[in-house]
């Protein structure tokens, strides 16, 4: 009874702290933070963390742009960070409140617009790669041309994401994923149209279960998502196209309308701690560009082919940037792709 009373008292005390304390609202991609780490932060700061999720940068942007003022932290991709900053929707960070920012990998920072981390801090990176069924495809090439092979016809998919898929096509031709050249974009559009004839569909969610079950034999997807599939199914392999891939970096930002900016800074600093980031990576499968954390993760994590991206490919990979007034050039080609048979 004494033990039970002690436990009840502890639970009541925790609930009381949260009720009396602050609430941090985080808007982020699904399954992107280990739940136990959120609980640790709540206990440490006597607060409550409420997590809402979005499924695309565009849907997040639309909600914030429309006036959603309830969020303290957003985790958009790099190109969307630039747009949010230009439109005055996020605030400058107080680096003095984020001492763990020193752990951020300078190699990743060098690829980003906000390399000084004045208004954003890198959280996690991933690469747009290919996954294949080892039992169905024998020695497929580590190239984007794998999507056009006869043996994958109608048993493959590419991401239903304009910038990711157009970016892959641009890299396959040796062009920048942020090209604004209309001739290059037209050529990339023709490549994606060829892929469309070979693949079953454009997809952002079901490709993971489809490659796991064998419904698809080749899929284009995010390395973090495919990490778990490879961990659990030894019949699934990773292909990292030698022409280069799109590198995605999701970053912490604090909205200008945030009600808990101090707590938001504390949360960012907490997740940048080397021990915390290492634990988070092992759970999510996404690489945190954190030097201290990378020295702490397991050998098994580092050996996963979705993590072990060859240096030669990393050096040719680019982060998607905001295109500003040139964005309609992409949407025009993408609309043509979707309309093509």
Nearest Cα neighbor of 87 from 320, 255, 315 is: 255
140: number of Cβ within 10 Å: 21
Same domain, 235 and 260: no
Summarised one tens digit per residue, pLDDT across range 288-328 is 999 999 999 999 999 998 888 888 888 888 898 888 899 99
Same domain, 175 and 237: yes
Mean pLDDT of 98-119: 95
Alpha-carbon distance 158 to 160, whole Å?
6
Same domain, 185 and 319: yes
* pLDDT confidence band for 11 (50 / 70 / 90): very low
Same domain, 282 and 257: yes
Same domain, 58 and 90: yes
Same domain, 17 and 101: yes
pLDDT at 4 over 50: no
pTM for the whole thing? Answer: 0.82
Please report the pLDDT score of residue 312 as a whole number. 85
Same domain, 142 and 279: no
315: number of Cβ within 10 Å: 9
Same domain, 178 and 47: no
| Tokens, residue 215 | 């419904």
Pairing of strands 121-133, 246-252: antiparallel
Which residues form the domain of 259? Answer: 2-125+248-296
Same domain, 83 and 176: no
Domain count, the chain: 2
Summarised one tens digit per residue, pLDDT across range 13-24 is 444 444 447 999
SS3 26: strand
Same domain, 28 and 118: yes
Q: What is the CATH number of the domain that holds 260?
A: 3.40.190.10
Using alpha carbons only, give the angle 248, 60, 291 rounded to the nearest 5 degrees. Answer: 35
Please report the pLDDT score of residue 205 as a whole number. 83
DSSP 157-211: EE-S-HHHHHHHHHHHTT--TT---HHHHHHHHHHHHHHHHHSSEE-SSTHHHHH
Same domain, 188 and 326: yes
Please report the pLDDT score of residue 21 as a whole number. 74
């Amino acid at each position: 009874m004494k033990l039970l009373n002690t436990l009840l008292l502890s639970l009541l005390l925790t609930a009381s702290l949260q009720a009396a304390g602050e609430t941090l609202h985080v808007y982020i991609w699904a399954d992107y933070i280990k739940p136990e780490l959120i609980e640790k932060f709540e206990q440490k700061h006597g607060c409550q963390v409420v997590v809402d999720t979005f499924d695309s940068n565009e849907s997040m942007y639309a909600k914030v742009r429309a006036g959603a003022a309830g969020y303290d932290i957003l985790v958009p991709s790099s190109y969307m960070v630039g747009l949010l900053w230009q439109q005055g929707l996020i605030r400058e960070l107080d680096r003095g409140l984020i001492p763990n920012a020193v752990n951020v990998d300078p190699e990743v920072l060098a690829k980003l617009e906000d390399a000084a981390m004045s208004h954003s801090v890198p959280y996690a990176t991933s690469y747009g790669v290919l996954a294949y069924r080892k039992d169905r495809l024998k020695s497929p090439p580590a190239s984007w041309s794998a999507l056009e092979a006869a043996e994958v016809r109608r048993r493959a998919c590419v991401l239903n994401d304009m910038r990711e898929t157009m970016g892959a096509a641009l890299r396959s031709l040796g062009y920048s994923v942020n090209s604004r050249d209309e001739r290059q974009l037209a050529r990339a559009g023709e490549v994606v149209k060829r892929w469309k004839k070979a693949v079953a569909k454009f997809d952002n969610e079901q490709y993971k279960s489809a490659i796991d079950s064998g419904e698809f034999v080749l899929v284009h997807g995010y390395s973090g998502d495919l990490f778990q599939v490879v961990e659990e199914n030894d019949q699934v392999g990773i292909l990292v196209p030698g022409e280069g891939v799109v590198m995605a970096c999701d970053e912490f930002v604090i909205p200008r309308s945030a009600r808990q900016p101090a707590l938001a800074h504390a949360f960012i600093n907490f997740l940048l701690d080397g021990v915390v980031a290492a634990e988070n990576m092992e759970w999510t499968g996404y690489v945190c560009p954190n030097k201290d954390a990378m020295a702490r993760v397991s050998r098994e994590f580092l050996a996963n082919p979705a993590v072990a991206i060859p240096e030669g490919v990393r050096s040719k990979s680019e982060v998607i940037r905001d295109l500003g007034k040139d964005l309609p050039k992409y949407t025009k080609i993408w609309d043509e792709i979707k309309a093509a048979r």
